[in-house]
Amino acid sequence: MNPSSFSFVFLISLFTLFSSTSVSSSTSLSYSHHCASMVPESTPTDSDTTIVPYHRQFLSHYTGGDRIFNNNISSKFSLESKKYFWFLPTGDNFETNTTGVYKIKAYLHLIHSNFAMQKRNYSELKFAFDGFWSLYSGKLCMVGSGSWYSNEGNLINLDAVLKLNYAINLTIFSSLVTGKLESLASPTDTNYFEPVSLLEYGTSSNYQFSLVSGEFDRDCCGGNDFPKNQSLGLNPGLFCSTMNRMRITVFDLEYLNECSSSNNCTPLGTNDLPSYMSLQPIHCSEEEHKVQYGIIFGPPYPPFDPSTTLVGEGSWDEKKNQICIVACRFLNSTDSLDNTQVGDCSIRLSLRYPAFWTIRNRTSILGQIWTNKTANESGYFNRITFRSRDNRVLVVPGLRYEYTVTEKVRKLCPVDKTVTKKGDRYPKAKSKDMAFDMMLKDSAGNRASWTKAMPSSFGDQFYAPNSFYIPTSRNDDKAEFEEKTTYHGPLNISYTISPYRTSSAFSVTPGSKSDIAAEGLYDEKTGSLCMIGCRKMSAGESMDCELLLKFHFPPVNSKEGGRITGSVKSMRAETDLLYFKELKVTTISLYRATAKRSVWRMDLEIVMVLISNTIACVFVGSQLFYAKKNPQVLPFASLLMLVILTLGHMVPLVLNFEALFRGSRKENNVLLLGSSGWLEVNEVVVRAVTMVAFLLQFRLLQRVFSARLRDENRRVLWVAEMKALFVSTTLYILGLLFVLFLNARKQNHIKATVSSTSVFHYTHSLWGDLISYSGLVLDGFLLPQILLNIFQISKEKTLSHSFYIGTTCVRLLPHAYDLYRAHNYARTQFDGAYIFANPNVDFYSRAWDVVISCGGVLFAIVIYLQQRFGGRYILGRRFWEVEVYEMVPVTSSDQ
């Protein structure tokens, strides 16, 4: 349990318990009958809140009580099942007429969580207790009850007695709380449960260090002393804050080569060799520079298993700049938790902060574990080395990086200024733009892995935007530690390149154990980064430092964006067992300044979508109002045109139905760019406005269809409609075939020109082109109306000027904006980064934007001419005469 959350959990638990009505009163239970022999019942006198027997819990576990939770899960320790408890005194204490005996109230939470089969089952039982606690003996006895549901689903009352060894003056030995929870019901009753054994280890503010002393400090390293200048000192006033930063650090354990599965290789006394451990600070004294530790072999927060856990005390040795720790085992925990004790304090640990890093040694914290027993004694084990696994730099004043291979890099990578253009600017070495994610792929494209490249140092400074920064004083600021320096020429720089997954299938390079440590030169004038890398191999602890890494950053002032390209290759001979084929690198670079501009652009696009959808509603409403004043024009409107417009509003609603009603949004890179939380809220507003536009458009379609059915010339109109539909469909099919032809050419071009090392490129999928083509059809929504006007030979002003001109402007606005966006913003390939003028739903490019805009304006002009001079006016004078002839009325002979 994370000690930093003790207070929060305590307050929340008290609030929950005080407000709960499920806990029964315990006043009816007889205390003297069950507890008199342990702590005699006394008469309460005055309230006393100064003595509160409250421990800050570190770990806890219980066994038994399986009948309570209606399961038969074994009480053995496992990673899938976790049983723990909270004992929470309320602070409502009273002195009694017996000296040193206090009447207290407390709550007990029994919690059982099971993570088997990737499904979490969580159960919690709460008891309320009253009882007495002896200050001198540390004994606590209480009676109380809790409520639970039987197997039949009936609410039952569980009466119980709680007996604990609960000292208030804590040392490493008395910090162990043991006891039992026993049912007061008969074993034959339905509310009976088996005895529950309790085990807790914690601390308090008055914890007393008893193991670390001057004699221990003098023998801290067990004969393996390091020179003081190889370790960093810590600021005395910030000792505890430094120790607390170790809480989430995992340490890898390194055994001697002769260790395989021998009992003398691990302090646990088992055949299993744990591969890692964690050090959990429990209590820290700033004045004494001492720490109470929990040492866990395995995951940092597993179920409490006494057989894999040590407890200890540590002291800072200023003479040697290291922490010295005495650790003890939990004894007698295998048979019953009641008999568990802390003992056998023969284990020693030391840890230090190395003063410098190199390409071969980048450990923030380094230490050893050993025992002061002799090889013939039981419990002896060989010395173990451990080092921190976390690659984040622990920035301690005085930490430095020693570059050892930069001269070799200068020979391998001479400066090439021909790769740059005049005016290009590249990322500064100490900027956050130097960190990037990338894809590694071999020449055959058979394997790929996602990796992250994080700078470790540049020049004489450490790159640590997300590191554990330890200031020199309380008023220190991290920015003050990073001095502003101007560099000239290629700069020394180091990197850590890590896979996103730790399995072998996702290692950075074939056969490596984990990360690549690299160092080399970065040229801010050319954006070129060249480094030599070292990797730790899977077999043994050997390192392969024959790796050459080359990267090139795109200019930060490029409006077209760019990719970080490069390669990782082995400099060994092809016959060498450690040789691997060259891996090509590419990634999309998104600099911080570009990201901020992109967020601003997306906010702008949200506004533009709202505006365009709103004015679309206005234009459709104007057509409805126009049709209401001129109902005779309704039958002459193209049904196909209205269907296309209606579908144009309906399809986005169908695809974003969840976003409309829930406001939920698929997580994508839009949010990763740092957009404020209002993006999702406004997306719901956009869908609501789109819904209004759809309803108005559907209403217009309904009115036109109804008017067509009632019109006297409906047969002629339907014939004209079918002719327009036939011609429109033919044109659409021809356009579709042309799109399929272009798609095939694009796919062949990609296969022929895109190298296997390129990871990111626009995917010209058939489905994507079909969606874009549907957007093109929507842009030309006036085509069916133009054809209908030609076939029905009409001069009716069917469409209001505001409708066809306004809707045309709404359809052409994204293309005009795309021209502006292409000129001022970098093209991004992140899914979801475009909100307005999305390239995935229409054809957007400089050529397409111009062609579609001109075509839309031309269609609007044609509609204007048709409604003024006749449907066939655009076909020439010959068709004008035919139109006039067909419109001349026929007179009868008797007139």
Please choose, from the candidates 197, 217, 174, 207, the residue with its C-alpha nearest in 3D space to the C-alpha of residue 343: 174
Q: In which band, very low, low, confident or very high, does the pLDDT at 395 lie, cut at 50, 70 and 90?
A: low
pLDDT at 472: 45
Give the integer Cα–Cα distance in Å for 851 and 855. Answer: 6
E runs forming strands in 459-562: 461-462, 468-469, 491-499, 512-523, 528-537, 543-552
Average of per-residue pLDDT across 415-427: 74
pLDDT at 818: 84
Q: What percent of the chain has pLDDT over 90?
A: 22
Please choose, from the candidates 338, 315, 341, 313, the residue with its C-alpha nearest in 3D space to the C-alpha of residue 329: 341
Q: In which band, very low, low, confident or very high, does the pLDDT at 408 lie, cut at 50, 70 and 90?
A: very high
On the question of pLDDT at 515 being above 50, the answer is yes
Return mean pLDDT, the chain.
Answer: 78
Residues 157/184, Cβ–Cβ less than 8 Å? no
Give the integer Cα–Cα distance in Å for 553 and 589. Answer: 8
Residues 682/656, Cβ–Cβ less than 8 Å? no
Give the integer Cα–Cα distance in Å for 36 and 43. Answer: 13
Q: In which band, very low, low, confident or very high, does the pLDDT at 450 lie, cut at 50, 70 and 90?
A: confident
pLDDT at 773: 82
User: What is the dihedral angle through the alpha carbons of 441, 442, 448, 452, rounded to the nearest 10 degrees?
Assistant: -50
**For the whole model, what pTM was predicted?**
0.67
pLDDT at 338: 81
pLDDT tens digits along 773-787:
888 888 888 889 888
pLDDT tens digits along 338-366:
888 999 999 999 998 888 889 988 888 89
Amino acid at 505: A
Residues 235/243, Cβ–Cβ less than 8 Å? no
Please choose, from the candidates 275, 279, 352, the residue with its C-alpha nearest in 3D space to the C-alpha of residue 309: 279
Helix (H, G, I), strand (E, B) or coil at 874: helix
Amino acid at 878: R
pLDDT at 151: 72
Give the integer Cα–Cα distance in Å for 670 and 606. Answer: 12
Give the integer Cα–Cα distance in Å for 301 and 311. Answer: 15
Q: In which band, very low, low, confident or very high, does the pLDDT at 664 lie, cut at 50, 70 and 90?
A: very low
Q: Find all residues with CB under 8 Å of 329, minimum gap 6, and list them.
A: 267, 310, 342, 343, 344, 347
pLDDT tens digits along 677-704:
455 556 677 778 888 988 999 999 999 8
Question: Can you read off the two tokens belonging to residue 345?
Answer: 């304090």
On the question of pLDDT at 754 being above 90, the answer is no
pLDDT at 342: 92
DSSP labels, 165-193: E--SS--TTTTEEEEEEEE-S-TTSTT--
Q: In which band, very low, low, confident or very high, does the pLDDT at 422 lie, cut at 50, 70 and 90?
A: confident
pLDDT at 109: 93
pLDDT at 679: 53
DSSP labels, 562-605: -EEEEEEEE-S-TTSTT----EEEEEE---HHHHHHHHHHHHHH
pLDDT at 7: 44
**Least confidently predicted of 33-37, 409-413, 612-616, 673-677:** 673-677
Please choose, from the candidates 143, 223, 154, the residue with its C-alpha nearest in 3D space to the C-alpha of residue 185: 143
**Least confidently predicted of 295-304, 518-527, 579-588, 753-762:** 753-762
On the question of pLDDT at 656 being above 70, the answer is no
**Least confidently predicted of 50-64, 322-336, 542-556:** 50-64
Give the integer Cα–Cα distance in Å for 710 and 713. Answer: 9
Could you report how far apart the first and last alpha carbons of the chain are, in Å? 107
Please choose, from the candidates 772, 743, 762, 739, the residue with its C-alpha nearest in 3D space to the C-alpha of residue 843: 772
Of 108-112, 299-303, 870-874, give the range with the top mean pLDDT: 108-112
**293 phi, psi to nearest 5 deg:** -120, 150
Give the integer Cα–Cα distance in Å for 380 and 125. Answer: 42
Give the integer Cα–Cα distance in Å for 785 and 641. Answer: 6
**Least confidently predicted of 23-32, 46-55, 604-613, 626-635:** 23-32
Helix, strand and coil percent figures for the chain, each rounded to 5: 35, 25, 40
On the question of pLDDT at 482 being above 60, the answer is no
On the question of pLDDT at 172 being above 80, the answer is yes
Residues 851/779, Cβ–Cβ less than 8 Å? no
Within 13 Å and on the Cβ side, how many CA atoms surround 707? 19
Give the integer Cα–Cα distance in Å for 466 and 372. Answer: 39
CA 624 to chain centre: 49
Average of per-residue pLDDT across 4-10: 43
pLDDT at 675: 44
DSSP labels, 788-808: HHHHHT-----S-HHHHHHHH
Question: Can you read off the two tokens belonging to residue 740?
Answer: 């399929």
Q: In which band, very low, low, confident or very high, does the pLDDT at 181 lie, cut at 50, 70 and 90?
A: very high
Query: What letter would DSSP give residue 555?
Result: P
Of 5-9, 133-137, 434-438, give the range with the top mean pLDDT: 133-137
pLDDT at 96: 92
CA 52 to chain centre: 40
Give the integer Cα–Cα distance in Å for 828 and 841. Answer: 15
Residue 796's DSSP bridge partners are none
pLDDT tens digits along 30-58:
899 999 999 999 999 988 777 766 788 88
pLDDT tens digits along 563-609:
888 999 999 999 998 888 888 887 766 777 777 777 788 878 888 88
Average of per-residue pLDDT across 259-288: 80
Q: In which band, very low, low, confident or very high, does the pLDDT at 215 lie, cut at 50, 70 and 90?
A: low
Helix (H) or strand (E) run with residue 140 in it: strand 139-149
On the question of pLDDT at 507 being above 90, the answer is no
pLDDT at 141: 96
On the question of pLDDT at 667 being above 60, the answer is no
**Least confidently predicted of 80-94, 251-265, 690-704:** 251-265
Give the integer Cα–Cα distance in Å for 318 and 311. Answer: 23
Q: Which bin fits 27, alpha (ψ -120 to 50), beta or left (φ > 0)? A: alpha
